[in-house]
Amino acid sequence: MVPLSYNVRSMVTRKVTTLATAIGIALVVFVFAAAMMLGAGVDRALAASGRDDVAIVMRNGSDAELSSRVEGNHLGLIRDQPQVARTGGEAVVGEVVIIVTAELADGSGGISNVLVRGTPAEGIAFRPEVKITRGRAPKPGTNEVIVGQAIAGRFKGMSVGQQFDLRRNRPLQVVGEFSADASSYESEVWGDVDVIRTSLGREGMVSSARVRLSNANAFPAFRAALEADKRLGVKVMRESEYYKKQSESTSGFLSGMGIIIAVMFSIAAMIGAVITMNGAVAHRAREIGTLRALGFSRLSILFSFVIEAIMLALVGGAIGLAFVMLMTLVTFPVMNFQTFSEIVIRFTPTPSVYLWSLVVAVIMGLIGGLGPAIRAARVSPVEAMRA
């Protein structure tokens, strides 16, 4: 095999073309990794909202809380199930979920959808990850609400001390902000369930019920019991499964769009790699002839140029990954296609993002360098020495 030092020296000698090709590959890796991080951010935000020992009960046939209705008097039947936890506070929480249109606070005049959740006083304690970070919790039975810190100040009227209308002449007063371990809850507004459903004329019913089970293994029996009860007409899902399904369409769309853009960029990057490696072959004809004369086989020459192309691609991949890490400081609003409400997410790096980004870089280097490598392997040592 041709020593790797030969390839490194060649790359250093051709600084300009090496850098240009590496930057092209880095751009592709940047776009690809950013798309994967965005998809992972959606998964992280929604997955963090769900727990395996919590079940969500919705109307049979509903795919999301927004389209579900559960009779309020059914909460007692749910609470009586033997699989429901009997310690740790209220174990069954009925909530109302609606979407309101809000104007952005940046003065652009843009609008977006915000999810408003009506929850009882026990709703905050039911989720131990929820913490009041500014102001205070709303008083039960009042029009006071708290806003998730991801959207606090992003929309008009949604900052502490401000107010916005749920409906005309139905103002909600913001008295606090809350965090929830970077979950999708941080993109919601929470208020009193009775006030919100009364404002909407939905007295006596809730969108869904969340149920804390005695343990995660009790879920199958709990689901079987409720879904078999014809009085209820409900479907039961693990909360973690519910949010996983919600994330699939959004993260899939974002990742798919990013991959399409990356593929288009990769064509240009691979063309650049071909040009660079073809130029290397043309300028190193004598070197190739000398290597052949020293006894290196055609296969050794082929592997040498392929390895050089892959090394070049890995340099570009490393540059792309280094710059994409800056995206972890950025938050990004996306639309949840299940609820059609906005959620604010972070670019989330994962080991699979790094791995697949480098795999993409290697594939580009391999495809871009294989043709020139074959050309180099076919160089005649006699003709090369005469050149």
The percent of residues above 70 in pLDDT, for the chain, comes to: 87
Q: Residue 305 is encoded by which pair of tokens? A: 């140029």
> What is the average pLDDT across 196-208?
86
Band the pLDDT of 383: cuts 50, 70, 90.
low
Distances (CA, A) of 212 to 51, 97, 120: 9, 19, 15
CB atoms within 10 A of CB 154: 21
The mean per-residue pLDDT over the stretch 114-131 comes to: 91
Q: 182 to each of 48, 131, 232, 328, how far by Cα in Å?
A: 7, 11, 34, 13
The pLDDT of residue 115: 92
**H helices then E strands: how many in the chain?**
11, 14
Q: What mean pLDDT do residues 185-196 have?
A: 92
Q: Compute the average pLDDT of residues 136-155.
A: 93
Asked if residue 243 has pLDDT above 60, the reply is yes
Residue 13 has pLDDT above 80, yes or no: no
Strand, coil or helix: 337: coil
Give the model confidence (pLDDT) of 288-308 as tens digits. 666 766 777 778 877 877 888
Contact of 7 with 287, CB cutoff 8 Å? no
Q: What is the mean pLDDT of the chain?
A: 83
pLDDT over 60 at 279, yes or no: yes
How far apart CA 106 and CA 113 sit, in angstroms, is: 15
The pLDDT of residue 280 is: 63
Q: Indicate the pLDDT class of residue 132, thresholds 50, 70 and 90.
A: very high
- Nearest 5 degrees, angle CA 333-CA 41-CA 241? 110
Q: Is the pLDDT of residue 252 over 60?
A: yes
Residues ≥6 apart with Cβ < 8 Å to 377: 298, 299, 301, 302, 305
Could you tell me the residue ranges of all domains in the chain? 4-47+246-386, 61-232
